[in-house]
Chains A and B, each alone.
Chain A
Amino acid sequence: MSTARAGAAPVGEPLAPMTVHERAIFAPITTTGTGFKALALGLALVSAWALFAWIWQLTHGLGVTGLLRPTYWGIYITNFVFFIGVSHAGTLISAILRLSKAEWRRSVTRMAEVITVLVIAFGAGNVIVDLGRSDRALYVFRHANFKSPLLWDICSISIYLTASTIYLVLPMLPDLVRLEQKVGGWRGSVYRALLRATGYRDTPKQRHRLERAIGVMMVLVLPIAISVHTVVSWVFAMTIQPMWHSTIFGPYFVAGAIFSGIAAILTFMVVLRRAYHLEAYLRPVHFDNLGKLLLVMTLFWLYFTFAEHLTTYYGGEPHELRVLFDKVTGRFALQFWVMVVTCFVIPFAILCRAKGRRSELGILLASLSVNFGMYLERYTIVVPSLTNARILMTDARYTPTWVEWSILAGCVSTFLLLYLGFTKLFPIISVWEVEEGIEHGPRETTDRLATYYPPMAGSGEAP
């Protein structure tokens, strides 16, 4: 029942010719420059160093970190919150854009969804690195206590990882069929194996079902994504510690996650556009639109941060005030105010002008600044509350050690390495969706517009 178009090319047969878009988008898969290899080697070295640091910690115990009583959590838990936050953008933004039928989404969704799937493991992984007994990590299944917010986290993160992986793979299937027919070599057998596993041959019937499945998934991933960062915030908010025990934390964390996630997408867009010559697919309008979204989130961030800190200040509860003033004027003032500058002042100044949103450099600066600032935000949420314990007075201060910084660097480098690997195996832009948009987009959009207004006289359309 397979049509000629959908039939799999047997081994040894000549590869089918590529369309214009396939040639442009598949090019980074088959051709690898020296710059790429050098970057990959550099990243691999950083990852290897981080692995050494982790082994060092496993053999010597958590004493090799700067953690102490009562600051029991530091860089690792900050990493956890930060990476889970970054992972938000991909799936969430892609789902929102698909759902609202934003036509310009087509060349952006794939590269965003990949961020989600790859970075989430580093979020969860940092909790395991943080454990005093990483060897007992699986006890959370054997002795699960569902009253603990950490268990809620495990549930929602694993559901999120599963859902966003499905949501990444489904729209990739039609591209895999094309790749299998048009890109040979060892990759051909990888695509063949993947397609055989799913049974997808891109018949019209399968395509129809696929589109319905994508439609279901894009609705499903929205509440799951929201739940993930809400539950992450609850790890803190469910305790009664000063400035953690806050009802605003759920939405505050979700907004921050979308904020840093969009910034991450934009960073990747700028870099991939240049590195893989995708200028024709990532046009100024893409940066302009996502830049506006980032601008809105900048304002949201300021609003949430202001509301959170003003409420604490006005309430004037002594223990809360101690944490607040340690953040605003005390030991964490540097981190706090750099956070305000990098999360608000810099991105706002760049993004409020169309010129800034449409410039590569502007977008790159704004997005990197936001993610730097959001890391500081996570840090200034996790650490000051612990350092200012209600009762325990200590002069000892938490200063992260080389082990902690190395593991942070290793998480970033390994994530980038995996992302690079992905681009060498799969198209970073969804070819079939782009072609579909070019082919059917104008008609669909015209039809849709026609339903917005009174039917034209004599058009024969039912009212």
Chain B
Amino acid sequence: MRWAMVIDLGACTGCGACVVTCRQENNVPVADEETFYHGRNLDWIQLEDQAEGEYENLRVRQYPLMCQQCDKPPCVKVCPVRATYRDEEGIVGQIYRRCIGCRYCTNACPYSVKTFNWKKPGWAEGTERRQSPDVSLRPAGVVEKCTFCHHRRQKAKEAVRAEGRELGAGDYEPACVEVCPAGAMTFGDLDDPSSPLAQLVQDRHGERLMDDLGTEPKVIYLRPPGGRS
């Protein structure tokens, strides 16, 4: 079992539902204007701009960017206290109670997708009552990032154990995948060549960000048909 996500950039409308849902799901505080301006927002998933084409025939496309869940994560190697790790199903996790906040992992990550709690998280009035009980709140001074909603996987595991079977590819998906109104995100098992996810990667020539760096990400992007590469 190797969890992976495919994002179809042809289907993605850039609506930002994944970003909003992720905040709700994972107790990520909404950044105020000043925090955002200082580059200190904590978003686990965000929409990045990408320019396509030349001047006069230029278009900007947005693509969702989150932890790429590398099979060879540069962040895991450098952590001095093993507070970030890759588990047996390929998800890169973060132990908030152990992280010393040295930010070596954030600097080693070529995708810059790990964020740091510069101060105690501030909750806009009323929102603190909407925190999810499934995801721990992070204290000031530690690093956090997308975990493919591994609390959902935990719940799914408990559910299938009650049914007396193993966890399968269809048993859980992260909140962003569930909510995507365009159906641009597919979640599943990369190790199973017959899965819809693996089929998509093969048929549509899925691309990984900065493939040449050898990090082997498990977030795979599909170019829009006819889109320039």
Contacts and interface: CB of A to CB of B under 8 A. Distances in A.
Contacts of B78: 147-150, 238-239
A450 interface: no
Contacts of A145: 79-82
A396 B38 contact: yes
A62 B80 contact: no
A306 B30 CA distance: 46
A458 B108 CA distance: 71
B81 A144 contact: yes
A22 interface: no
B62 interface: no
Interface stretch (A133-141, A163-171, A196-204, A224-232): A133-141
Contacts of B99: 132-133, 136
Contacts of B119: 60-63
B110 A139 contact: no
A143 B102 contact: no
B77 interface: yes
B195 interface: no
B101 interface: yes
Contact of B117 (A73, A132, A147, A148): A132
A389 interface: yes
A391 interface: yes
Contacts of A70: 39, 106-107, 112
Interface string A280-299: 00000000000000000000
A127 B101 CA distance: 11
For the residues of A in contact with B, the DSSP-based class is loop
B37 interface: yes
A239 B108 contact: yes
Q: Taking each of B49, B106, B143, which has the highest tally of chain A beta carbons within 10 Å of its own beta carbon? A: B106
Given A62-B141, A144-B80, A391-B111, A132 B116 contact: yes
B101 A132 contact: yes
Interface in B131-180: 139-143
Contacts of B104: 148, 150, 235
A391 B50 CA distance: 10
A68 interface: yes
A135 to B, nearest CB: 9
A179 B89 CA distance: 67
B200 interface: no
B74 interface: yes
A358 B103 CA distance: 46
B153 to A, nearest CB: 24
B81 A143 contact: yes
Nearest to B107: A72
Given A62-B141, A394-B39, A396-B38, A389 B102 contact: no
A298 B175 CA distance: 57
A339 interface: no
Contacts of A241: 107-108, 110
Contacts of A240: 74, 108, 110, 213
A131 B100 contact: yes
Contacts, number: 136
A137 B107 contact: no
A133 B106 contact: no
Contact of A131 (B74, B101, B107, B110): B101
Contact of A61 (B39, B100, B115, B117): B117
A62 B112 CA distance: 18
Contact of A150 (B40, B101, B102): B102
A44 interface: no
Given A61-B118, A241-B110, A140 B100 contact: yes
Interface string A81-100: 00000000000000000000
A69 interface: yes
B120 interface: yes
B112 A392 contact: yes
Contacts of A235: 104
A386 to B, nearest CB: 6
Contacts of A60: 119
B135 to A, nearest CB: 20
Interface string B26-56: 0000000000011111000000110000000
Contacts of B81: 136, 139-140, 142-145
B141 A131 contact: yes
A141 to B, nearest CB: 9
Q: Taking each of B78, B83, B100, which has the highest tally of chain A beta carbons within 10 Å of its own beta carbon? A: B100
B210 interface: yes
Contacts of A130: 102-103
A140 B104 CA distance: 13
Nearest to A390: B110
B9 to A, nearest CB: 15
Interface string A216-238: 00000000000000000001001
Contacts of A393: 48-49
Contact of B112 (A139, A154, A391): A391
B77 A131 contact: no
A71 B120 CA distance: 20
Contacts of B100: 131-133, 136-137, 139-140
Nearest to A69: B39
Nearest to B77: A147
A374 B37 CA distance: 32
A7 to B, nearest CB: 51
Given A61-B120, A143-B98, A148-B80, A68 B65 contact: no
A69 B112 CA distance: 8
Interface in B83-107: 83, 98-104, 106-107
A151 interface: yes
17 contacts: A62-B101, A68-B38, A68-B39, A70-B107, A71-B39, A130-B103, A131-B102, A133-B99, A150-B80, A150-B104, A235-B104, A238-B78, A239-B78, A391-B65, A391-B110, A391-B111, A391-B112
Interface of A: 60-63, 67-73, 127, 130-133, 136-137, 139-140, 142-145, 147-151, 154, 235, 238-241, 386, 389-394, 396
Interface of B: 37-41, 48-49, 65, 74, 77-83, 98-104, 106-108, 110-112, 115-120, 139-143, 209-210, 213
